[in-house]
Amino acid sequence: MKPDRQLAKYLANLGYGSRKEMEAAIRAGRVTGAGDDLHFDGEPLDPSPGMVLMMNKPAGFTCSRADQGRLVYELLPPRFLHRTPPLSTVGRLDADTTGLLLFTDDGKLLHGLISPKSSTGKTYEATLARPLEGHEAELFASGTLVLRGEEKPLLPARLEVTGDRTTRLTITEGRYHQVRRMFAAAGNHVESLHRARFGALELGTLGQGSWRLLSEQEVSSFF
């Protein structure tokens, strides 16, 4: 096992408490095991820095640490909010949007995934206020659509029509309220929006409001 001070610092960085609290926990025998097989109060220790997790975000939660109202961090163990380095959302879903949301404390991965240079596709299922008119797929794929208030055109996006008022839209950018603004530019309004896919990742059977850690193989799929 690591020396007590080193272990206390490590546990504090994982968000379990202050260093003094962790030193006391170690003396009280609350930390057991050896090497990489450590337990805190009988539960396996949280992953080391560099973890990535996926959540099925419900509606009504904001991707923020400090905004008013309900925050996505409330759906995670409270100690996750106190990790060092901090656990951050990979981009944002607005409060009304549901679906696949990633978190990581790996700064390099975070910046790589949200960088304008990233080509990672993100697929959204949208329900619209009015039936599609038929020109939307060509418009979104053209690479010429300029959103209101902007000057740079959007990168080409792929639209799949799944019903009169339902679609699957795959984009590689992450501009502010991009999907909603794209349909607004096409003369429609998004009534509900759900992110179904991020890169090769899908939610699978993950229930709404639930989360799980990603495997190394799943993380490597981003590159």
Catalytic residue set: 94
Count other Cβ atoms within 10 Å, centred on residue 32.
14
Instruction: Determine whether 196 is exposed, middle or buried from the number of CB atoms within 10 Å of its CB (0-12, 13-18, 19+).
Output: middle
Residue 127's beta-bridge partner residues?
166, 192
Write b or e for each residue in 96-123: b if 16 or more Cβ atoms lie within 10 A of its Cβ, otherwise e.
ebbbbbbbbbbeebbeebbeeebebebb
Please give the distance of CA 215 from its chain centroid, rounded to a whole number. Answer: 15
Question: CB–CB of 209/56 below 8 Å?
Answer: yes
